[in-house]
Structure 1
Amino acid sequence: MRRRGWSLLLILALVAGWFGAAPASAQPPTAVTLVGDLQTELGCAQDWDPACPQTALRPTGEPGRWAATFTLPAGRYAYKVAIDHGWEISWGLNGGPENVPLTIAGEVRLTVRYDDTVHRIGLTPLDLPGDHDPGDAGLVGKPARAPGTGQQFYFALTDRFADGDPTNNTGGRKPDKLSSGYDPTDANFYHGGDLAGLESKLDYIKGLGTTAIWITPPFGNLPVQTVGELSLGSYHGYWTLDLTTIDAHLGTEQGMRRLIKSAHRRGIKIYFDIEINTTADVIRYTGGTSDYVPIADHPYTDRHGKVIDIAAIAGDADFPPLDPKTSFPYVPEVPAALRNAKKPHWLNDPRLYHNRGDSTFTGESVTYGDFFGLDDLMTEHPRVVRGYIDVYKKWVDFGVDGFRIDTVKHVNFEFWQEWSAAIMKHAREIGNDDFFMFGEVFDGDPKNLAPYVRDTELGGVLDFAFAGNAVNFAKGTTARGLAAFFATDDLYTTPNASASNLSTFVSNHDIGRIGHLLGDADRLPDRDRLAHELMLLSRGQPVLYYGDEQGFTGGGDLWTDVAARQDMFATQVDAYAQQKLITGEPVGKRDRYDTNGALYPDLAALGRLRADHPSLATGAQRERFADDGPGVYAFSRVDREQRIEHLVALNNASVPRMVTFDTLTPGARFSLLYGDSEPVTATEDGSVTITVPALATVVLKADRSVASPAAAQSIKVGAPTPGAALAGLAPVTAVVDPGRWQETSFGWRVAGAKDWQPLGTSDLTAPSVRHDVADLALGTLIEYRAVTVDAAGHRSAASSYGSVGFAVDLSVPDPGDGIVTVPGTHNAAMGCASDWQVDCAAARLELGDDGTWSKTFTGIPAGTYEYKIALNNSWEENYGEGGVRDGPNMTYTTTGGPVTIFYDPETHLSRVETG
């Protein structure tokens, strides 16, 4: 689009925009003209001419509606409508005075519409493709399954698993605990587990169906650190000093090679846990304090004293040099004995750390603060990026199969993009195409987990959202909670990623064990088993935490994380020995490798089931049924090659449940693979009726492939609706027959472009992906395409379009006023996708005749919960204790009966009544 000089008409248009449109005339318009810097392209003599007949709209016959069709070339434009050939009245963006932006990539035929009753302007591209055509062939793809995925993990805390070589228990140091870190009687010190012990128990681990072992960080650690007033051992491996070698407490590089080789012979991969965010705590701050100092109070400066924004220059090759004495809010100091303790040597440079004090785990301190006092790397610095790439390339060369990465959200996002791409590129270059990485993003909201899967090459993340929902389901909350949770899986779908990449779990070394998280629920062994059944039979890569198979629960007087880090070998820690197994039996002081103990036989059976039926590991997951309350959640798992339907039904109610639902395989006989149920035969319309025992799971398999329909199905794009506003991770959905097996591929393009850009292929129950439009210009007109392929190979397609930032469909958006929600730790029990979900419809209160808001919720298990009041589906305005805006969380305790939450909009006070 050519640049133009200023004109009187343009000045008048801008003045109209600055001062606002005049009030609407009492009389309907006699003329409506499309005006803007697109008019000369449409045949006018000049732009911004309200009298140009070539861009006049015409009455449509509908009251207040005007329209005309134009062919517009590629460009970035601004436009509005002028009334009655002048500037006295004009309308623009969202019925206001501002000009409307528009970006198109090529020639487009557009119908421009104007509704004088709401003063909105609409656009309709006229050449959107309709049903399937040959041009769709390049868009159709397979659902993403990353190389190396489909694993069943076993997470072993090496020091606590098995002691195969007692000679290394002190790590080659003096035997006193404050030197060696070794004291098997203290839960906070080394206990003697090592690589040799792991190798000796590989068959035990393999018996559970394990295909990959994730071990805690194996690198050289500072054996003992002081945290507050406590001296603690680094048995967990996260206080690294030497990233170039294996910690002497665990063994040697030769021992690691033996472990990897022995595991590979058994078909087991070895994954290293790695820590990039921090190293061991050797830096001290002059003055003796370590409170976090915000950037606003003391910004970073280069060595010349110039203020710099390290976030804005993250990764830049010309990152300015820093001075340890002046560039940071604290002056870093390292004791003489530790100044060269770290390896590689670049880690000893104090200028490569944030030096800003202890994290408060809020705001900017999440990435800039020291994680519980550990030295926090300045991962924005290119020297740190290069150094970490070099370090971990060497361990890829060593033969490890993948990495689990700690504290990912505490590192700037740009680091992960550059580092993960370099590591994966190197793995492919040396022929390790199955190398895979997943990160720990400690967050229960799928919206916050998804970017690390979508926009980096980490591959996957630990699915904390799954963990929360699985625990709640096992406690007996509504099955609709699982339905809402799995409905968010589209957040992860791209051409290269999907929710199948995620690592699911119900216990770990931080949050504790499922047996402890279940609290005071009844029938604990059954609920523990149910949570693991959900984990092992649903989408994702399950991670079994060591000891869960033996019924370890944790608890007692230890911290939650330490309480869940028990010894598998005969413990000498009294607190561990006094803990109860899930069966109620004391742990005692004996080895716990019994293949008949607690849950081992059940978990081993599930592992064999996954191995024998790959659909249960990597197949599509299609929801079939969800009770509205405690009861059955059922889904199908279907492999895209064999297309044999496997039905999984889990019942979290305390009584058996008979349910009827549709399948994908009409007329099929479903035989029992797991659990206690009778074989069933689907009716001709595909429905089955099954009974699922209380707190149990059944798995059934069809005797034939899913139905192959005789004709192509109908399809339409459900979102965006034509002309809808697009923002953030905009949902793009298709409406198809839920009774058919199908895969649906989605694509997008800027209007006027010829080629579709793939968004991914969905195999979800309701086909859906997300389009990240955050970097697209306001007003960009986007076209979408959905192509579905059924079991017979029939293809159907449909299109829609949207506009970035605002709607072009003549609608007046709902401002959202008058929505009150109660985000909190009870949300999953209410049927939300996750706890603290501020925009969950299931957590909305209702307005009463007296002007106050309230709602009674059922199905919330006994316990104590935290919550807040939020307005209009946003955290922007929220109220806590005492009606204080942004105040502390409110709490209530329920025995499991009805919970009624009240809110007074005048005082912003809330109260809870429990039944």
Structure 2
Amino acid sequence: MTTISKTLLATAVALALSACGNDKAPIDTSNDTQASTVAEKAKQTSVQLAPYNQRHIQDEVLYFVLPDRFHNGDADNDNGSKAIAISQGGFDPTKEGHYHGGDVKGLTEKIPYLKEMGITSIWLTPILRNQAVQGDITGYHGYWVLDFTEIDPHLGTNADLKTFIDTAHAQNMKVFFDIITNHTADVIRYKECHGEGELTFSDGEQMCAYKSLAQVAAGDKYTPFVPKGMENVKVPAWLNDPKYYHNQGDSTFEGENSVYGDFFGLDDVNTDDPEVVAGMTEIFKDIITQFKPDGFRIDTVKHVNIEFWQEFSPALIEHAKQEGIENFFMFGEVYDGNPDVLSKYTTEGKVPSVLDFGFAFAVKNVIADQKGTQELANLFAQDGKYKDEDSDVNQLLNFVGNHDVGRLAWALRESEHNYSQEEMLSRVTLAHSMMYFLRGVPVVYYGSEQGFVGDGGNHNSRQDMMPSKVASYNDDVLLGTDKTTADDNFDTSHPIYQSLKLFAEIYQSNEVLRYGQQAVVFAEDKPGLLVATRTLESGEQYLIAYNTSSDMAHGEFALQGNVNEVVYDSGQSLIDSTDGQATLAMSPLSVAIYKITN
């Protein structure tokens, strides 16, 4: 990675300033003592968080975790249920698609690790009882629900879950559940394509061709049935009746079958049916009443008809208020980077927010693929689409990697740019700072803070934090450490962990970074500067600047007001602002935040 001397930076800025006819001395934000003071001030302020039940979503830093892959607090539950065969087995810590033993007790033990990093909310993948095994893989991830009334026995008991939530709340942290209304576990079969013999599963292939709504209306239907011995495996009992499912065959995730087809063979719930809407609403009202979570992340939102969300979302939020959870919050997974698609669900669909896949894809393009910073500017130019009476873009959930798309570090490793380990570390850290400082709410994907890389998405991005026995995980070269995933990876001294801790401190101690409306003032069609302002209604305004290039970058742009104080600078930047113009020079792969006064 290219390095740059302060002298060169000063020279570059001086030349730029002289070209503007301005010889005013620029502000130097590179002083180490000043940076240390900024960090210490942030630490002192950030501990004064409001009580968890009073905080808005924009005050949160979320941590997204698969409990099975985190920490094993109770080896006695590794094989799941001791009484219910369908939720038993699947434990093999050597296989990436099997249960590895992590559980809710283990997660409870690690709450201090998360709190020290500045995490304020923990989002768990689905924790309800699953069909343990489907074919040659398992439900370790939680998305194959059979029973909507109890925790999966591989993860513990309902009492363990309540203890976890109580412990998190006692530490002033929130808990978000991952919920599913689109489908249940793969139980229902179709005589026309499954036959009536040995059980087979559709994971990874389309076993049963999709039958369109027009075909069904014309009488061309599948004949659904429940295999012998599985007639009563789902809870509540009404979920066992095939009449409450679409039964139209496997989705190819295109056109209408994206909504009406079986998601990899999973039984697609007929959410058009008013009885189903009422039933699903009651299921999750009961979960709110029983466990008192602080919110839900909703799986597969775009695979459900939008009318369902229009009724479901307001009903749950109102119920949570009746249960004393005033700031209960829900956000959906709409697997699409297009703001037109994403915003449809936050406005018309009445889901309060969504995960911002557009942000994740744009950051990958800019940071890993070295596209111009205009990519992010183009995305942010569409932010107004999310604005309605109860939500806006600041409530979107920012992320740069997850359990489906994979980790950003993997994208960097596979890049044609042949990044060194050092530069990969710098780029991953810079991308995470975008999560914290640009509009939206930051979501850290577990293991990112320990330099996890992976070999792709899905199972390849779901490594163990506890010592792993999966060969394809353990051969990874992690960022910022000599460890592998075969080691215990809860290192609070890891450089990414330390950076995220500092980002959280800055985020929490500067309201404008959580609530300020954002406007891009400078971007480029190449790697280089991205500069934006964030402004509160009170008039308080910050300037956030990034250099995404591995070389020094500088630029000139219009700016009303004067930059007179640095909030944070990860590198060496020099800035001058006067007479409505600003000139900025930044060292490679750095971020700087400034206060603006009028």
What per-residue deviation string (whole Å, max 9, x for no partner) do you get for residues 771-792 of structure 1?
A: xxxxxxxxxxxxxxxxxxxxxx
Aligned mates of 1:496, 1:179 — CA distance in 2: 43
Aligned pair in 2 of structure 1 residues 442, 272: CA closer, same or farther (>3 Å)? same
| Aligned residue in 1 for 2:506 | 609
1:489-888 maps to which residues of 2 (within 5 A)? 489-518=383-412, 519-520=414-415, 521=417, 522=419, 523-555=423-455, 560-583=457-480, 585=482, 587-641=484-538, 643-666=539-562, 668-677=563-572, 680=575, 682-683=577-578, 685-702=579-596, 706-707=597-598
Letter in 2 for 1:516: W
SS at match of 1:259: helix
Aligned pair in 2 of structure 1 residues 291, 177: CA closer, same or farther (>3 Å)? closer
Contact kept? 1:473, 1:531, Cα under 8 Å: no
Contact kept? 1:194, 1:251, Cα under 8 Å: yes
Aligned mates of 1:614, 1:265 — CA distance in 2: 24
SS at match of 1:599: helix
| Aligned residue in 2 for 1:143 | none
Cα distance, 1:586 vs structure 2? 5.9
Cα distance, 1:168 vs structure 2? 1.1
1:161-560 maps to which residues of 2 (within 5 A)? 161-173=70-82, 179-226=88-135, 231-289=136-194, 290-295=207-212, 298-300=215-217, 329-397=221-289, 398-475=291-368, 476-518=370-412, 519-520=414-415, 521=417, 522=419, 523-555=423-455, 560=457
Contact kept? 1:660, 1:689, Cα under 8 Å: yes
SS at match of 1:581: coil
Cα distance, 1:640 vs structure 2? 2.5
Runs (4+) of structure 1 exceeding 4 A deviation are: 174-179, 583-586, 678-681
Cα distance, 1:254 vs structure 2? 1.3
Aligned mates of 2:371, 2:534 — CA distance in 1: 23
Cα distance, 1:701 vs structure 2? 2.6
SS at match of 1:391: helix
Aligned pair in 2 of structure 1 residues 368, 175: CA closer, same or farther (>3 Å)? closer
Cα distance, 1:678 vs structure 2? 5.2
Aligned mates of 2:234, 2:220 — CA distance in 1: 21
Cα distance, 1:672 vs structure 2? 4.2
What per-residue deviation string (whole Å, max 9, x for no partner) do you get for residues 120-174 of structure 1?
A: xxxxxxxxxxxxxxxxxxxxxxxxxx95443211001110011111111111349
Aligned mates of 1:177, 1:393 — CA distance in 2: 26
| Aligned residue in 1 for 2:46 | none
Contact kept? 1:621, 1:635, Cα under 8 Å: yes
Q: Which has the higher contact order (CA 8 A, sep 6+)?
A: 2
Aligned pair in 2 of structure 1 residues 175, 272: CA closer, same or farther (>3 Å)? closer
Q: Which has the higher strand share?
A: 1
Aligned pair in 2 of structure 1 residues 177, 560: CA closer, same or farther (>3 Å)? farther
Aligned mates of 1:209, 1:449 — CA distance in 2: 28
Contact kept? 2:474, 2:485, Cα under 8 Å: yes
Letter in 1 for 2:249: G
Aligned mates of 1:524, 1:678 — CA distance in 2: 21
Q: Which has the higher helix share?
A: 2
Rg larger in structure: 1
Aligned mates of 2:146, 2:225 — CA distance in 1: 16
Aligned mates of 1:654, 1:437 — CA distance in 2: 38
Cα distance, 1:338 vs structure 2? 1.3
Aligned mates of 1:553, 1:199 — CA distance in 2: 25
Aligned mates of 2:446, 2:527 — CA distance in 1: 29
Cα distance, 1:333 vs structure 2? 1.2
SS at match of 1:299: helix
Aligned mates of 1:504, 1:657 — CA distance in 2: 26
TM-score normalised by the chain length of structure 2: 0.84
Cα distance, 1:224 vs structure 2? 0.4
RMSD: 2.2
Cα distance, 1:681 vs structure 2? 5.3
What per-residue deviation string (whole Å, max 9, x for no partner) do you get for residues 353-384 of structure 1?
A: 11111111111110111000101101111111
What per-residue deviation string (whole Å, max 9, x for no partner) do you get for residues 293-324 of structure 1?
A: 33366224xxxxxx6xxxxxxxxxxxxxxxxx
Cα distance, 1:623 vs structure 2? 1.5
Aligned mates of 1:281, 1:672 — CA distance in 2: 52
Letter in 1 for 2:509: D
Aligned mates of 2:192, 2:174 — CA distance in 1: 48
Aligned length: 525
1:21-40 maps to which residues of 2 (within 5 A)? none
SS at match of 1:270: strand
SS at match of 1:670: strand
- Which deviates more, 288-297 or 183-192? 288-297
What per-residue deviation string (whole Å, max 9, x for no partner) do you get for residues 502-540 of structure 1?
A: 111110000000001222232211111121111111111
Contact kept? 1:670, 1:679, Cα under 8 Å: no
Contact kept? 2:87, 2:129, Cα under 8 Å: no
Contact kept? 1:149, 1:436, Cα under 8 Å: no
Letter in 2 for 1:188: G
Unaligned runs of 5+ in 1: 1-145, 301-306, 308-326, 708-915
Aligned mates of 2:312, 2:497 — CA distance in 1: 38
Aligned mates of 2:372, 2:486 — CA distance in 1: 39
Contact kept? 1:492, 1:499, Cα under 8 Å: yes
Aligned mates of 2:341, 2:182 — CA distance in 1: 18
Aligned mates of 2:115, 2:309 — CA distance in 1: 32
Cα distance, 1:679 vs structure 2? 6.7
Letter in 1 for 2:589: L
| Aligned residue in 2 for 1:848 | none
What per-residue deviation string (whole Å, max 9, x for no partner) do you get for residues 627-667 of structure 1?
A: 232100011223324x332221111111011223333423x
| Aligned residue in 1 for 2:3 | none
| Aligned residue in 2 for 1:24 | none
Letter in 1 for 2:126: P
Aligned mates of 2:57, 2:449 — CA distance in 1: 25
Contact kept? 2:80, 2:88, Cα under 8 Å: no
Aligned mates of 2:81, 2:211 — CA distance in 1: 42
Letter in 2 for 1:654: S
SS at match of 2:521: strand
Aligned mates of 1:256, 1:298 — CA distance in 2: 45
Residue identity over aligned pairs, in percent, reads 39
